[in-house]
Amino acid sequence: MRDGSKGATAALFGAAPHIAVDRALAELRAGRPVVLEASGGDILALPVEGLDDGRLAGFQALCAPGQARLLISARRARALGLAASTARTISVPADMSADAVLALAAGRHAGAPAGVEPASPSAEAAIALLKLSHGLPAALIAAFDTAANVDSAGIIHVPADAVTAYQRFLVDSLAIASEARVPLTGSGDSRFVIFRDGAGGNAVAVVVGEPDLSQPVAVRLHSACLTGDVFGSRRCDCGDQLRLALDQLEADGGVILYLPQEGRSLGIVNKMRAYSLQDAGLDTIDANTQLGFDEDERDYGAGARMLQLLGIRRVWLMTNNPEKLAGIAEAGIEVVGRMPLETPAHADNHRYLATKATRAGHQLDHFVASLAEATEAE
């Protein structure tokens, strides 16, 4: 390699840790194992998505006998009735069938396992990677010695500390990729500004009208919801909030940030799993934590970066969610006030709205007032 060519190729391919995370995410989505490297020891991690006995046997063949364990998040551990722990992840022996592994990872009625141990920093990075891949936050893991394992060729290795840095990279690398005028039914003239991050992911800003950037701008941070926004699902109020925000922006203009955060950043597959748990009796928060996720996995750093690139520094935030107010402010945008979005309540979304109001702290004053009126009328 010629002198100076190393820097040139780095500009072409990107930073090595980011490349490693990119490739690891592709492997995990395809159901293949990766190695997480950390000072506490390297681990081999295989996602439990699509696990069957054949894949389980293949994983065990890469491990020392009896060393395979199931890694789950602390949220999932609590859902299984395990004692509270300061560990963010735990592991249990995986000397069981693939069906039993899947039941422990995400089953509705799995019992509390024995042999629980706190997991290592490399295991915590594995859970973070699985969440980034929109898979279940659970994996088969085992200590891994590359030098001793003759079958390790081709397995992607990822430094554990690269995972956290990668999430910051996705925000910092956001840039405007394209834009065009798109007139909308009922909302007049608008402009779609498409953003792309360093991993090829997209987010959209819909600039309605001609907002005055010298003044605070009305902004809606909207998490993409295929079921509600596109198909009019009545299980949530997402589509109603989106359309109401567009209507309210028609007069003075503003911006809707359409963020790829389906199901509070669980992804569409896990969102449907959560819906199934809700059909079995859980509310929207307990369904998420039953699967091993936090109550809300969203981060608003990307939204703040998009606003900054649009030249917006001060906003009126169109939301009922105080977490959005705090998140966007912490990311460097001045929030001068909140504009509520009062959407209709009905039989299909009543429990969903009640959970948001009573457990998630959403400021749904109109809904709470209607509940009080109904109680008084009884």
Q: Which of 164, 199, 157 is nearest to 14 (CA)?
A: 199
Contact 323, 264 (CB under 8 A): no
Write out the two tokens for 175: 């840039």
**pLDDT of amino acid 318:** 98
**pLDDT of amino acid 8:** 63
> What b/e readout covers 28-46, taking b as 16+ CB neighbours within 10 angstroms?
beeeebbbbbbeeebbbbb
Q: Write out the DSSP string of 164-225.
A: HHHHHHHHHT-EEEEEEE--BTTTB-EEEEEEE-TTS-EEEEEEES---TTS-EEEEEEE--
Domains and CATH numbers, the chain: 5-168 (3.90.870.10), 173-261+298-377 (3.40.50.10990)
Q: Which of 219, 222, 241, 223 is nearest to 232 (CA)?
A: 241
Q: Which residues are catalytic?
A: 296, 298
Contact 292, 119 (CB under 8 A): no
Phi then psi dihedrals of residue 73, to 5 deg: -80, 165
Give the ranges where the chain is alpha helix by DSSP (H). 5-13, 16-29, 53-61, 74-79, 98-106, 121-132, 160-172, 238-249, 262-265, 268-279, 284-290, 301-309, 322-330, 350-358, 365-377
**pLDDT of amino acid 149:** 61
Write out the two tokens for 52: 């069957």
Residue corresponding to tokens 């992607």: 156
d(CA 246, CA 281): 34
What letter would DSSP give residue 235?
S
- Beta-bridge partner residues of 93: 69
**pLDDT of amino acid 371:** 67
Q: Determine the angle formed by the axes of helices 350-358 and 365-377, rounding to 10 degrees.
A: 110
Write out the two tokens for 274: 């959560």
Give the strand order in the sheet containing 43-47.
117-118, 89-93, 69-73, 138-143, 43-47, 34-37, 157-159
Contact 167, 132 (CB under 8 A): yes
Write out the two tokens for 180: 């065009």
**pLDDT of amino acid 287:** 97
CA gyration radius for the chain? 23
Question: How many of the other CB atoms lie within 10 Å of CB of 322?
Answer: 14
**Contact partners, residue 154, CB within 8 Å, separation at least 6:** none
Q: Which of 45, 106, 73, 42 is nearest to 280 (CA)?
A: 106
**pLDDT of amino acid 120:** 85
* Tens digits of pLDDT across the chain (378 residues): 555 556 667 678 889 999 999 999 999 999 999 999 998 789 999 999 999 999 999 998 888 888 899 999 999 998 888 865 567 889 999 989 999 999 999 988 777 788 888 888 899 999 999 999 999 999 999 998 765 565 666 899 999 999 999 999 999 999 999 999 999 987 778 999 999 999 999 999 999 999 999 999 999 999 999 999 999 999 999 999 999 999 999 988 999 999 999 999 999 999 999 999 999 999 999 999 999 999 999 999 999 999 999 999 999 999 999 999 999 999 999 999 999 999 999 999 999 999 999 999 999 988 887 765 555 445
Residue corresponding to tokens 């706190």: 118
Q: Which of 11, 302, 267 is nearest to 168 (CA)?
A: 302
Write out the two tokens for 281: 């009796």
Contact 298, 337 (CB under 8 A): no
